[in-house]
C-alpha cells in the first residue's frame, strides 16, 4: 500500500460506494463484450455484402465510415480483452489487495463503457442494414440478360463456395423447362485446366453427336461439324467453373450474332473481362434471411429444439459462415449432431479461433469448411475423405472402386470379415455424403472444388511438417515432377495428364499410394519402382500403350492394390505371383491380354477383389480359355481364394458357367457378369441369378444362337426376384424375342438393348403371369439401339418415377412409348432419337404429347 497514492485509494473507495462493484468482478461483462463484438463484426460483413449485392451506391459512403469505426473498435476490444485476461491470471483478488482491486476496477469500467459503445454501433448498423434496398436476385439478372439481344456473353463471378454452380444450374433448369427461344441448352464443366477436346466432346454430346459415329474424327473435323450445327441454331452455352480463358471458336462454337448466348461462372472478375463479358454479375453469398433458413434446414428442427438457448447460438454460428452456401451447409450438417449446450459453446469457440487465425487470408473460407472435416467421427473417416482429393477436380469417383483403394491403403484393415470391411466402406461414404463433404451421384461420388482445395490444404500447406500429398491430377502435365519433389511424400497422384515416359527413379521410402492412370505412358524404366519399398497402391489404368509390366513392379512386395485395367498388357508374368500381399487386382477391359499363367491367381491368398470383366480380346476365349491350364483351371484357381468378396468376370460358354456356378464363391462374390458368345446354347436357364445377392451388373453379348432365357416356374410362383440387379445390357443377341424375365428385376436402373434384330416386345404382359405389373420403377436410363422389329416396350403406360433418359436409334417400328401425362410426374425425361422417328411417334392423348413437348433431343451424325 505504501506505493499507492492516498488520493487514489480514497477515489477507489468513493467509486465503490457510488458505482457498481461489478466493475471488479468483470468476467461476465467481458464474455458479453466478446459476444457482442462478434455479432457486430458479422453484421459488418453482412451489411458490406448486402450493399455490394444491391449496388446501393447512395449508402456506400455512410456504410464505409461505419465499417471503419467497427474495424477500429475490434482492435480496441481485442487489446482490452488481452489486458483483462492478464489481470485475471494474476489471481490476487482473494487477498483483498487494494492495488489489484483498483486495477481490476479500472479495467471493469472500461469494459462496461466499451460494451455500451458496441451495442450502440450494432443498433446503428442494423438501421443501415434495414435501409439497404433488397438486391436484385442474381437469377433474375441472368434471365433478364438472356432476353437482351445485345448481351451475348454473361459472366457470373465470385469467391468459391458462394453458389455460382447452383445459380448456373438454376438457370439451366429454367431454360430446359421453358426452352424460351433457344434450340439448345448446353452444359459444360471447364475446371482449373480446361481441356479443349473434352469441352468439345461434351458440347458434341449435348447437341446430339453420337460418340460411336464421331470418335474417329480429328479435333479440327469435329470443330467444323460443331460450328456447322450451332451456326444454324440459337443456343445457350453454360460453361461452369472457368479458371482460364478458352478459345471457344477453336472448339467449334461460332460467334453469337443470332441471339445465342454464353453464360459462364468463374472466381475472377478479370477473367470476365478476358472472355469479353458484356454483363458481369457478382455472386456474393446469401442474404441473412436465406442463409439463416438454409442453416436451420441443415441443422434440423430436432437439434434446434433440444434447448431454448440453441437457436440463438445457431444464429451466431450461421453468421460466422458469411453467407457462403457451402460453408453454411457443411457447418450446419456438422452441428446437426451436437445435442448439448456445452457442445454448441465449444463449437462457437473453435470456429471463432479458426476464422480469427486465418482472417484476411485466402484460407479463411477453408478454415470454415475444415470445421466439417474436424467434426467427422474418426481419424479413419477423415483419412478416407482426404484420399478423395487425389482425384482430379470434378472427377466422378466410382464408390466400389473407391473402397478398393481404401482396402489397399489399409484404412479398413481392422475388419477380419471382408464383407464387413466393404460394408464399412459404404458406411464411410454415407457418412461423408451426409456431412455434405461429398456429393452423392448414384454409383459415384464427387467432391466440390472448394472442399478439394480444403483437403489439399490440410494434407499440404496446412501441415507444419513436409506435405503428405503430391497432387498434379488433371493438370495437363507433359512430364512427371522432378524426382526431388517425391522425397518424403506418402501419396502421389499424377492421373489424367499427358505424361509419356517415366525414365528416372525417385527415392520414395515413404510412398504408399501412386496414381498414374489415364496418361499417355509408353515407357516406364525398370528402375522406376526400385526405391518404393512401402508402396501399397499402384494404379496404371487407361494407359493403352503399356504392353508389358516393368520388371520393377515384381519387386513391390508390399503392394496390396494393382490396377491394370484398360492397359495394353499382353500377358501376366509368372513372377507376379510373388506379390503375395495383393488384396485388389483389376484387369478389366484388358482386351489385348492373352495369357494368365496357371496358379498365378491362386497364389494371391489375400485377394479380396478380382476384377476381370472384358479381360482379353474379343476374338479369344475369356475365363477358362485365357489361362494356360486349360478348361476349368481358372474356376479352380478362383475357388482357392478363401477371402474373395468381389468378382467381375466374363464367361464364354455354358460349360464354364456351370463350372463357376457350382462354387459358392461365385454365387456370393460376383458383382458383374458378362455372358459372351454362347455359341452352342439355344436356351439358357437363368434361375441361378436369384441366388447371386451381390450381382449388380449383367450382360449378354454376341449370343447369336440364344432364343430363350428361361426362368424356373417356382421363382415366378413365389414372386422371388433378382433384387440385386441394377444394370442390364443385352447386345447382339439376334434371336431373342423378348425380355419378360426383367419383371423379376425390380431395381434395374440402367437397361440397354442393342442389335437384337428379332425382338418385337421387351415385356410381354401375357407371358409375365402378373396382373398388377410393377416394372422399371427404379429405371433411370433406357437405351434401345438397332432393334429392327421392336414394336412395343410394354403395351400400357407405366409410371417412371426415376427415369431421366430414353435413347432410341434404329427402331423404326417403335411408334409408341409406354408413357402418359403422369409417367414423368415431378421430373423431366429427355428423349433422344432421330427427328423423323420423333415426328411419327404416336401419343396416348394430347395431354401426354404436351407433357413431353420439350423433352426431345435430336441425334446428329
Provide CATH 3.40.50.300 ranges for the chain: 138-282
User: Which residue do the cell numbers 477383389 mark?
Assistant: 609
The mean of the pLDDT values for the chain is 86
How many of the other CB atoms lie within 10 Å of CB of 352?
A: 17
Residue with cell 416386345: 761
> What pLDDT sits at residue 833?
94
Percentage of the chain beyond pLDDT 70 is 88
The pLDDT tens digits for 303-328 are 999 999 999 999 999 999 989 999 99
Mean of the pLDDT values across residues 207-220? 84
Measured at the CA of 297, the angle between CA 295 and CA 300, to 5 degrees, comes to 105
Most confident option among 25-39, 88-102, 248-262, 652-666:
248-262
Angle at 56 between CA 52 and CA 60, to 5 degrees: 80
Contacts of 330 (CB under 8 A, 6+ apart): 368, 369, 371, 372, 435, 436, 437, 451
Predicted pLDDT at 454: 95
Q: Compute the C-alpha angle 225/230/234, nearest 5°.
A: 170
**For 365-409, what is each residue's pLDDT tens digit?**
999 999 999 999 999 999 999 999 999 999 999 999 999 999 999
pLDDT (tens digit per residue) in 476-526: 899 999 988 999 899 999 999 999 999 999 999 999 999 999 999 999 998
Could you tell me the three cell numbers for 220? 479440327
| CATH pick for 138-282 out of 3.30.565.10, 3.30.70.1560, 3.40.50.300, 3.40.50.20 | 3.40.50.300
Q: State pLDDT tens for residues 105-147.
A: 778 888 888 888 888 888 888 777 776 655 567 888 999 888 8
Looking at residue 12, its pLDDT comes to 53
Determine the pLDDT at residue 794. 92
Dist. CA 182–CA 176, nearest whole Å: 9
Q: CA angle at residue 620 from 733 to 783, to 5 degrees?
A: 30
Is the pLDDT at 17 greater than 50? The verdict is no
| pLDDT value at 621 more than 50 | no
Specify the pLDDT at position 215. 78
Which pLDDT belongs to residue 114? 83
Q: Is the pLDDT of residue 828 over 80?
A: yes
- pLDDT reported for residue 714: 73
The per-residue pLDDT for 422 is: 92
How far apart (Å, rounded) are the C-alpha atoms in residues 715 and 709?
A: 14
Residues of the chain above pLDDT 90, percent: 54
Pick 13 or 471 by higher pLDDT: 471
Write out pLDDT tens, residues 723-778.
999 999 999 999 999 999 999 899 999 999 999 999 999 998 877 666 567 789 99
Taking the C-alpha atoms of residue 383 and residue 379, their distance in angstroms, rounded to an integer, is: 6
pLDDT computed for residue 92 by the predictor: 47
Q: What are phi and psi of 596, to 5 degrees?
A: -120, 110
Euclidean distance between CA atoms 831 and 808, whole angstroms: 8
pLDDT at 4: 56
Tell me which DSSP letter residue 22 carries: G
Question: Does residue 641 or residue 15 have the better pLDDT?
Answer: 641
Print burial letters for 280-296: b (CB count within 10 Å at least 16), e (below 16): ebbbbbbbbeebbebbb
The three three-digit cell numbers of residue 207, written as one number: 447437341
Beta strands in 653-747 (DSSP E): 670-676, 683-685, 697-701, 708-710, 727-731
Confidence grade of residue 40 (pLDDT, cut at 50, 70, 90): confident
Question: Among the listed ranges 441-445, 620-624, 644-648, which one has the minimum average pLDDT value?
Answer: 620-624
Lowest mean pLDDT, pick from 234-238, 535-539, 660-664: 660-664
pLDDT at 87: 75
> Is residue 42's pLDDT more than 80?
no
**CA distance linking residue 648 with residue 656, whole number of Å:** 15
571 DSSP β-pair partners: 595
Q: Which has more confidence, 535 or 721?
A: 535
Amino acid at each position: 500500500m505504501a506505493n499507492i497514492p492516498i488520493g487514489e485509494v480514497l477515489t477507489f473507495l468513493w467509486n465503490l460506494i457510488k458505482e457498481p462493484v461489478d466493475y471488479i468482478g468483470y468476467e461476465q461483462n467481458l464474455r458479453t463484450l466478446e459476444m457482442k463484438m462478434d455479432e457486430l463484426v458479422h453484421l459488418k460483413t453482412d451489411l458490406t455484402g448486402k450493399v455490394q449485392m444491391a449496388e446501393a451506391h447512395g449508402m456506400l459512403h455512410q456504410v464505409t465510415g461505419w465499417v471503419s469505426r467497427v474495424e477500429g473498435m475490434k482492435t480496441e476490444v481485442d487489446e482490452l480483452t488481452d489486458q483483462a485476461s492478464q489481470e485475471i491470471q494474476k489471481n490476487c483478488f482473494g487477498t483483498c489487495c487494494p492495488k489489484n482491486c483498483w486495477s481490476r476496477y479500472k479495467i471493469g469500467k472500461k469494459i462496461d463503457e466499451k460494451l455500451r459503445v458496441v451495442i450502440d454501433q450494432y443498433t446503428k448498423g442494423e438501421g443501415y442494414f434495414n435501409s439497404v434496398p433488397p438486391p436484385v436476385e442474381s437469377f433474375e439478372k441472368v434471365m433478364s440478360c438472356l432476353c437482351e439481344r445485345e448481351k451475348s456473353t454473361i459472366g457470373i463471378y465470385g469467391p468459391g463456395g458462394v453458389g455460382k454452380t447452383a445459380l448456373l444450374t438454376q438457370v439451366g433448369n429454367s431454360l430446359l423447362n421453358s426452352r424460351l427461344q433457344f434450340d439448345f441448352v448446353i452444359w459444360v464443366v471447364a475446371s482449373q485446366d480446361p481441356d479443349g477436346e473434352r469441352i468439345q466432346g461434351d458440347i458434341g454430346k449435348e447437341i446430339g453427336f453420337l460418340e460411336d459415329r464421331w470418335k474417329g474424327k480429328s479435333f479440327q473435323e469435329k470443330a467444323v461439324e460443331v460450328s456447322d450445327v450451332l451456326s444454324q441454331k440459337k443456343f445457350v452455352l453454360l460453361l461452369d467453373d472457368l479458371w482460364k480463358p478458352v478459345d471457344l471458336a477453336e472448339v467449334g462454337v461460332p460467334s453469337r450474332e443470332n441471339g445465342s448466348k454464353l453464360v459462364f461462372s468463374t472466381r475472377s472478375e478479370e477473367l470476365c473481362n478476358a472472355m469479353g463479358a458484356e454483363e458481369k454479375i457478382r455472386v456474393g453469398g446469401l442474404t441473412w434471411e436465406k442463409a439463416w433458413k438454409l442453416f436451420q434446414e441443415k441443422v434440423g428442427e430436432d437439434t434446434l429444439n433440444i434447448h431454448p438457448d440453441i437457436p440463438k447460438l445457431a444464429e451466431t454460428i450461421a453468421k460466422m459462415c458469411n453467407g457462403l452456401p457451402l460453408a453454411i451447409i457443411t457447418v450446419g450438417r456438422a452441428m446437426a449432431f451436437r445435442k448439448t449446450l456445452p457442445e454448441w459453446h465449444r463449437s462457437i469457440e473453435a470456429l471463432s479461433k479458426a476464422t480469427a487465425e486465418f482472417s484476411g487470408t485466402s484460407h479463411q473460407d477453408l478454415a470454415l469448411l475444415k470445421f466439417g472435416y474436424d467434426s467427422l467421427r474418426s481419424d479413419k473417416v477423415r483419412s478416407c475423405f482426404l484420399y478423395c482429393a487425389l482425384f482430379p477436380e470434378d472427377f466422378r469417383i466410382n464408390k466400389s472402386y473407391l473402397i478398393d483403394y481404401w482396402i489397399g491403403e489399409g484404412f479398413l484393415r481392422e475388419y477380419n470379415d471382408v464383407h464387413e470391411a466393404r460394408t464399412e466402406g459404404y458406411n464411410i461414404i454415407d457418412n461423408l455424403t451426409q456431412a455434405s463433404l461429398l456429393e452423392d451421384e448414384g454409383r459415384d461420388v464427387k467432391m466440390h472444388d472448394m472442399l478439394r482445395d480444403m483437403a489439399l490444404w490440410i494434407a499440404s500447406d496446412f501441415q507444419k511438417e513436409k506435405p503428405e500429398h503430391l497432387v498434379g491430377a488433371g493438370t495437363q502435365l507433359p512430364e512427371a515432377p522432378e524426382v526431388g519433389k517425391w522425397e518424403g511424400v506418402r501419396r502421389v497422384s499424377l492421373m489424367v495428364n499427358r505424361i509419356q515416359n517415366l525414365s528416372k527413379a525417385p527415392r520414395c521410402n515413404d510412398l504408399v499410394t501412386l496414381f498414374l492412370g489415364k496418361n499417355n505412358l509408353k515407357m516406364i524404366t525398370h528402375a522406376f519402382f526400385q526405391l518404393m519399398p512401402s508402396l501399397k497402391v499402384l494404379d496404371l489404368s487407361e494407359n493403352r500403350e503399356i504392353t508389358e509390366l516393368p520388371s520393377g513392379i515384381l519387386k513391390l512386395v508390399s503392394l496390396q492394390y494393382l490396377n491394370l485395367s484398360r492397359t495394353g498388357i499382353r500377358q501376366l508374368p509368372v513372377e507376379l505371383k510373388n506379390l503375395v500381399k495383393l488384396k485388389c487386382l483389376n484387369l478389366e477391359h484388358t482386351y489385348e491380354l492373352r495369357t494368365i499363367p496357371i496358379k498365378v491367381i491362386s497364389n494371391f491368398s489375400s485377394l479380396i477383389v478380382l476384377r476381370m470383366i472384358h479381360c482379353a480380346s474379343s476374338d479369344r476365349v475369356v475365363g477358362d480359355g485365357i489361362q494356360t491350364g486349360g478348361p476349368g483351371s481358372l474356376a479352380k484357381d478362383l475357388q482357392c481364394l478363401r477371402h474373395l468378396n468381389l468378382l467381375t468376370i466374363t464367361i464364354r460358354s455354358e460349360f464354364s458357367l456351370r463350372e463357376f456356378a457350382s462354387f459358392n464363391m461365385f454365387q456370393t462374390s460376383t458383382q458383374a457378369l458378362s455372358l459372351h458368345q454362347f455359341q452352342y446354347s439355344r436356351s439358357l436357364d437363368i434361375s441361378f441369378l436369384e441366388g447371386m445377392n451381390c450381382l449388380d451388373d449383367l450382360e449378354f453379348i454376341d449370343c447369336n444362337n440364344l432364343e430363350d432365357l428361361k426362368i424356373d416356374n417356382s421363382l415366378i410362383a413365389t414372386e422371388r426376384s433378382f433384387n440385386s440387379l441394377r444394370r442390364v445390357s443385352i447386345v447382339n443377341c439376334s434371336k431373342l424375342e423378348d425380355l419378360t424375365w426383367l419383371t423379376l428385376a425390380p431395381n434395374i436402373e440402367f437397361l440397354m438393348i442393342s442389335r437384337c434384330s428379332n425382338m418385337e416386345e421387351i415385356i410381354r404382359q401375357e407371358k409375365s403371369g402378373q396382373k398388377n405389373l410393377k416394372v422399371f420403377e427404379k429405371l433411370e436410363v433406357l437405351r434401345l439401339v438397332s432393334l429392327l422389329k421392336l414394336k412395343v416396350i410394354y403395351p400400357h403406360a407405366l409410371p417412371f418415377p426415376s427415369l431421366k433418359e430414353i435413347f432410341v436409334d434404329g427402331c423404326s417400328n417403335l411408334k409408341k412409348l409406354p408413357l402418359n401425362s403422369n409417367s414423368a410426374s415431378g421430373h423431366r425425361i429427355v428423349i433422344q432419337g432421330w427427328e423423323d422417328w420423333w415426328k411419327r411417334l404416336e401419343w396416348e392423348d394430347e395431354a401426354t404429347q404436351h407433357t413431353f413437348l420439350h423433352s426431345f433431343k435430336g441425334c446428329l451424325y
